């Protein structure tokens, strides 16, 4: 359950629903398996998995939710081959070239006929609501996936005024300065990975892994105009992660200081372990997010 990525949204209005009210609204879009002709299905499932039935899990004022997406696998190469075979067959029969509209109709028919026979795979997307500080935090490295689950939440609730975090200083500008000067704010340590990009459209990209980022070659790239769009850092020896140019946090790891807190608490079952993990994780992130915003000049108020 420990989040590996953070895509953070700011609630622009107070979140006032009780967990009971939220539970009822989520139930209207509970997960169901794909129907025979559905390409995908997205809905809510219990964050506790088999250990629970409730669609919400609360701890210390934070509310954990879990979306589940099931998709049918239709390999494009297979579909395209079937489409071309059908088109060739019809063109031979009718002794003419089919129109674009007819080709599209053939493809749609083949997809429709193939869907019930396609395999499915599923994945879960965790998120939690912080009503006190006004955040929705999604465990997703993909902006699209985060927006998809936020859209599901909006649909469940009727509306949800939430926007991406926006800071006064651009993350890429600040991270570039850290690398140029090798001076970072208190508690921040630059690690050994970054991604640099030239500002022009279709600009060149340099990716460095397991690399000393204080070496002159990095500064040379920055002096030539490249900007840091991803940077691996650690915070207070508690968290390590990559920050990107959109203020998304990726490859998040909770370090030994945090894991020691978890191991000090004895639990008897999976549900209790989930609660311990969520409590410690959410408390840690509640301390970290304001510091994250401070690093980039503070938040632009909506």
Q: DSSP for 143-187? A: HHHHHHHHHHHHHHHS---EEE--BSS-HHHHHHHHHHH----TT
Out of 107-111, 144-148, 164-168, 172-176, least confident range = 107-111
Partner residues linked to 250 by β-bridges:
242
SS (H, E, C) 241-263: EEEECCCCEEEEEECHHHHHHHH
Out of 29-33, 108-112, 276-280, least confident range = 108-112
- Model confidence at 201: pLDDT above 90: no
- Model confidence at 74: pLDDT above 90: no
Domain residue ranges of the chain, discontinuous segments joined by +: 7-73+117-164, 76-116, 171-295
- Give the 3-state secondary structure percentages of the chain, helix then strand then coil, rounded to 5: 40, 25, 35
Predicted local confidence at residue 200, as pLDDT: 79
Segment 130-145 mean pLDDT: 95
Predicted local confidence at residue 52, as pLDDT: 83
**In Å, how far are 43, 81, 97, 102 from 94, measured between CA atoms?**
46, 20, 8, 13
Of the candidates 56, 51, 62, 52, the one whose C-alpha atom is nearest the C-alpha of residue 21 is: 56
288: which DSSP letter? H
Domain 7-73+117-164 -> CATH class: alpha beta
- pLDDT range class, residue 302, cuts 50, 70, 90: low
- Model confidence at 161: pLDDT above 80: yes
For the chain, how far is it from start to end, CA to CA, in angstroms? 31
DSSP character string of 181-249: H----TTEEEEEEEEEE-SSTT--EEEEES--TTSHHHHHHHHTT-EEEEEEEEETTTEEEEEETTS-E
Predicted local confidence at residue 1, as pLDDT: 80
- pLDDT range class, residue 118, cuts 50, 70, 90: confident
Predicted local confidence at residue 75, as pLDDT: 84
255 near 240, Cβ under 8 Å? yes
- pLDDT range class, residue 95, cuts 50, 70, 90: confident
Q: How far apart are CA 232 and CA 195, in angstroms?
A: 9
Segment 192-211 mean pLDDT: 90
The CB density around residue 204, as the number of other CB atoms within 10 Å, is 11
Q: How far apart are CA 106 and CA 83, in angstroms?
A: 7
Segment 104-114 mean pLDDT: 89
Average pLDDT of the chain to the nearest whole number: 93
Q: How far apart are CA 83 and CA 79, in angstroms?
A: 6
- pLDDT range class, residue 27, cuts 50, 70, 90: very high
Predicted local confidence at residue 273, as pLDDT: 93
72 near 118, Cβ under 8 Å? yes
Out of 120-124, 137-141, 201-205, 249-253, least confident range = 201-205
Helices vs. strands in the chain: H and E counts, helices first: 8, 12
- Model confidence at 109: pLDDT above 70: yes
- Model confidence at 50: pLDDT above 80: yes
């Amino acid at each position: 359950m420990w989040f590996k990525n953070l895509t953070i949204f700011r609630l622009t209005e107070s979140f006032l629903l009780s967990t009971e009210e939220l539970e009822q609204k989520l139930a209207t879009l509970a997960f169901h398996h794909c129907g025979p002709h559905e390409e995908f299905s997205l809905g809510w499932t219990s964050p506790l998995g088999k250990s629970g039935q409730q669609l919400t899990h609360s701890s210390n004022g934070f509310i954990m939710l879990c979306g589940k997406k099931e998709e049918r696998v239709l390999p494009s190469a297979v579909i395209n081959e079937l489409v071309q075979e059908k088109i060739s067959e019809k063109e031979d029969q009718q002794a003419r070239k089919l129109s674009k509209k007819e080709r599209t109709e053939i493809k749609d028919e083949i997809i429709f006929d193939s869907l019930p026979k396609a395999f499915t795979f599923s994945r879960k997307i965790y998120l939690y609501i912080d009503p006190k500080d006004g955040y929705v935090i999604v465990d997703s490295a993909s902006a699209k996936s985060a927006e998809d689950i936020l859209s599901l939440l909006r649909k469940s609730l009727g509306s949800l005024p939430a926007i991406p975090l926006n800071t006064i200083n651009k993350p890429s500008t600040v991270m570039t300065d850290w690398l140029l000067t090798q001076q970072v704010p208190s508690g921040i340590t630059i690690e050994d990975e970054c991604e640099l990009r030239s500002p022009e459209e279709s600009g060149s990209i340099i990716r460095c892994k397991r690399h000393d980022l204080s070496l002159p070659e990095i500064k040379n790239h920055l002096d030539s105009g490249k900007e840091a769009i991803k940077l691996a850092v650690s915070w207070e020896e508690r968290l390590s992660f990559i920050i990107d140019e959109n203020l998304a946090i990726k490859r998040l790891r909770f370090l030994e200081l945090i894991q020691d807190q978890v191991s000090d608490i004895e639990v008897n079952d999976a549900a209790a372990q989930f609660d311990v993990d969520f409590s410690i994780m959410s408390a840690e992130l509640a301390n970290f997010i304001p510091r994250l915003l401070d690093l980039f000049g503070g938040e632009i108020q909506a």
